Amino acid sequence: MNGALALTIALPLLGAFLLPVLMRVSVAFGVWIGPAILAYGCWILGDLWLTGSMQPFSVALGGFAPPLGINLYADTLALLFALAAQLLGLIFWPFKLDQDSARRQALMLLLVAASTGLALSGDLFNLYVFYELTAVATFGLVAASGTSAAYAATIRYLILSGIGSVLTLFGIALIYGQTGTLNLAHLAQLAPEQLSNELGLAAFLSLLIGIGVKAELFPVNTWVPEVYATASSRLSAFLAGLVSKLALLIILRLLLLVFHQPEAAQVILILGILGVVSGELAAWRAKEMRRMLAFSSIGQLGVLFIAMALPDGQGMLAVLALALHHLVIKSGLFMLADGWGGALQRLRGSAAASPLAAGLFVLFSLSLVGMPPLPGFWAKFTLITELAGQTEPLYLMGLTVFLLATVVEAAYLFRVAAIIYQSAPQERRPDEIPKAGGLSLATAGLFGAGLIATTLLIAPVGDRLQTIAAQAQDVDLYINTVFPATPGASQ
């Protein structure tokens, strides 16, 4: 079964290349290919998750053993995010049929394949390739909405992302020049001797800023409000919900396995704090739903960076909890924005028009600001207890900023809620009030139901997250899993 893991990447990739051709042969057959592939992927991963031993394992691709060959590394964390990629791909599948649908569906499959690869790959260059694939698929999908603004946003994103790739490659070159390997496990073995110096730090910072473009790291996140405002809500949900977390996950793995310098954590912390401040404050004045969500997403990712900066992977649990929570919430909110996009002032009276959507909005907002007993509270709780335990004043500053930003966040989210629940202005005809409905509302409802289920099952979910975090934190386990022949490696 373990070998089937590679299929979760290979099948969508294959599908992406064959889909345009097959759609030309038979549309009725072609439209089912994508969902079928993703459903199969979900089944493989779900099966591994449920029946597996919960022990991490490594798959050598093409039969070449690492460090020479490229391997996939699957611990529970990676499996979880791979599963999330396939599942969200299925949920956000571009069902709409028109002349462009073959292209869109192919790009979506490519995006899911690359995202799964990002979650699973155990090789730095391989990660880079998947990272670029994600980028290309994203460009195509953003531009696919076809408006002029979308093209402009895409090219701006593309250039920024291009520089990001240059910096990432530069970092990879530095690492390879120093160590002669790009396998993460091998790097983890070599790092204490070869990379715990200034060169290693420079390499890490290049990688951080390069990959940070996708992870919405301040200040290389200026593409976020433009792209989320022009792309379709489903794509924005996928990007904000999942792709940013995957980029973050890569940085986290690098930090944990390879780069232990305190300076590295410090840079992440400072940039994270700035991200929280800039994102939440910018959202305060946002007059439009999607832009507000985009800025809020920047702020939330900033919080994740703060959590990540905790020394020795102490923040692992907080990162995991916050990331999953944000994944659910932001996806749900963007789904609501599908019907409610546009100026916030237009939303007056929409609660009466679609009460379920209004209720979901309030639920998501409450969880986002961390109202107990919703899951958002527990995620925030794990973070602040870890932060308060640090003696370094910078961490306490992070704590303060985080708490203040939450107040601002609550203020602007509930300002929107108040607008939604206002009665509709007299001069507006009922059909002018934006309605959230149909498929996107159902999807949002799905996320809402997930949130409520998590609230009820918070104790077992929390325990499971703790085991996942503990496993992901264990560097020796990572090395021993990839190189079973060398027990008790050099660490």
Partner 1 sequence: MTLTLLDELLLFSGATLLVALFIGRGLAAGWMVTILYGGQLLTLLKMAALGYGGGIIASSLSFTVMGQNLSWRFDALSWFFALITLGSALLSSWFACGAWERSYAKQGGNIWLFHLAMALNVLSMLILLASGDLLSLFIGWELVSWAGFLLMALAGGVATQAAMRYITYAMAGGMAIFGGLALVYSSSGSLQLDAVLIAVESMSTTKLWLLVILFGGGFGVKMGLLPFHLWQAPAYAETPGPGSAFLGAISSRMGLFAILLVLVKLFGIVNIDSLKIPFTLIDARDLLAWIAVFTIIFPTFTAMKQNDARHLLAWHGIGQGGYMLLGVVVADAMGGAGGLLHVFNHATYQAALFMAVTAVIHRTGTADLNKLGGLVVRMPLSFMVLLIGIIGLAGLPPMNGFVSKWLVYRSLLNEGMPLLFLAAVIGTLGTILSVYKLIHNIFLGQLRVEHEQVKEAPWSMMAPMLILAAIIFITGLFPGIPLAWVASVQEVVGLPATDYTLGGVESVSGSLDMIWVIGVLFAGFGIGAVIFYSAGRSKRVHQLDNYAGGHFLSADVRYQYSDNFYAGLMHLVGGWYRGSFLWLEKSVISLIDFLSLVMQGLYRRANAEFYLLSTALFVMAWVVI
Partner 2 sequence: MIPALTPELILYATAIGLTTIGLAGVVLSVHLFRMVLSLVIAEAGVNLMLVLAGYRWDAVAPILTSLGEQPAMVDPVPQAMVLTAIVIGVGVQALAVSILIRIRQRYATLDRWEVAERMDADIAATAGTPRDVSQEAPLGERPLPPIPAKRVDPSGSES
Measuring CA to CA, which residue among 152, 139, 282 is closest to residue 213?
139
Alpha-carbon distance 194 to 188, whole Å?
A: 10
Q: Phi then psi for 101, rounded to 5 degrees? A: -65, -30
- Would you count residue 151 as binding partner 1 (CB under 8 A)? no
Residue 170 beta carbon to partner 2: minimum distance, rounded to whole angstroms = 5
Query: Smaller CB distance to partner 1: residue 93 or 204?
Result: 204
d(CA 144, CA 141): 5
Q: Is 394 in the site for partner 1 (CB under 8 A)?
A: no
Q: In angstroms, give the least distance from the CB of 259 to partner 1.
A: 11
407 touches, from partner 1, partner 2, none (C-beta below 5 to 8 Å by class): partner 1
Residue 19's contacts (CB-CB under 8 Å, 6 or more residues apart) are 30, 33, 34, 102, 105, 106, 109
The footprint of partner 1 on this chain (CB under 8 A) covers a number of residues equal to: 70
Our finding on whether 165 is near partner 2 (CB under 8 A) is: yes
Query: How many residues of this chain interact with partner 2, rule: CB under 8 A?
Result: 49
Residue ranges in 437-476 that form contacts with partner 2 under rule CB under 8 A: none
Query: Which tokens sit at 229?
Result: 């405002």
Quick note: the x/- pattern for partner 1 over 296-315, rule CB under 8 A, is --------------------
CA distance 347 to 304: 31
Helix 393-421 / helix 262-284 crossing angle, nearest 10 deg: 20
Helix (H, G, I), strand (E, B) or coil at 400: helix
Here the tokens at position 219 are: 């200040």
How are the residues of the chain apportioned to helix, strand and coil, as percentages rounded to the nearest 5?
A: 80, 5, 20
Convert residues 280-299 into a mask of x (bound to partner 2 by CB under 8 A) and - (unbound): -----xxxxxxx--------
CA atoms within 13 A on the CB side of 122: 31
Residues in contact with partner 2 by the rule CB under 8 A: 125, 128-129, 132-133, 135-136, 139-140, 143, 147-149, 151-156, 158-159, 162-163, 165-166, 169-170, 172-174, 176-177, 180, 182, 226, 229-230, 285-291, 341-344, 346
Residues in contact with partner 1 by the rule CB under 8 A: 156, 159-160, 163-164, 167, 198, 201-202, 205-206, 209, 213, 219-220, 222-225, 263, 267, 271, 277-279, 281-286, 295, 317, 366, 369-373, 377-378, 380-382, 384-385, 387-389, 399-400, 403-404, 406-408, 410-411, 414-415, 418, 421-423, 458-459, 462-463, 465-466
